[in-house]
Homo-oligomer: A and B are copies of this chain.
Amino acid sequence: MAGARRERDIHAATLELLTEVGYDGLTIEGVAARSGVNKTTIYRWWPSKDALLGSAMVEADVLAIRLPDTGSLRGDLESLLRQIAALLTGPDTSPVVTALLGAATHRPELGEVVRRFFADRLGRELPMFERAVRRGELRDGVDPATVMDLLAGAVWVRALLRGQPPRPAYVRETVDLVLRGCTS
């Protein structure tokens, strides 16, 4: 693997160029020029544009999430969802998300990169649910993937489709609904 600093520069350059020139305009040559790392060096680590982009999405600081450990499932889910909401709406991150989503809708090969990104995220989130099971908080048979689909989906729909930034009160309400249910 690349040295940590060079790898960080390459990932940052990849996501910057994605937002500036779009997926179709993104090239390893462009990333080499922006990051100051030799093109053949980049090709040695990442054999294709999609491999590089996938690595950048998973590893880049700009899309990173700090996995919370607050002592309760409610606290953990609220912290995680606030971070997802911030990613979807923040000035540095929402252009990256928008560029990826726009490209993924008409480039099937990018779909695989996005799928791997979400699988990686879910893998990182699982310990949060394992701790909740050990504390006796989670009902038997509940699939953490479905819980995350619901919560992440709500802030995606709210931010990107309804055009309403998901504020802290909305995050609390959403987590409360998924924890307690909507029935009386």
Contact = CB atoms under 8 A, between A and B. Distances in A.
B170 A146 contact: yes
A182 B142 contact: yes
Contact of A161 (B73, B99, B114, B163): B114
Interface string A148-184: 0111111111101111000000100110011111111
A143 interface: yes
A179 to B, nearest CB: 5
Q: Would you call the interface of chain A mostly helix, strand, loop, or mixed? A: helix
A130 interface: no
A63 to B, nearest CB: 14
B156 A115 contact: no
A44 interface: no
A115 B164 CA distance: 9
A105 interface: yes
Contacts of A106: 98-99, 102
Contacts of A118: 157, 161-162
Contacts of A98: 105-106
B140 A149 contact: no
Contacts of A170: 146
B178 A177 contact: yes
Nearest to A114: B161
Nearest to A170: B146
A177 B118 CA distance: 21
A111 interface: yes
Nearest to A181: B181
5 contacts: A73-B183, A153-B155, A178-B181, A178-B182, A179-B181
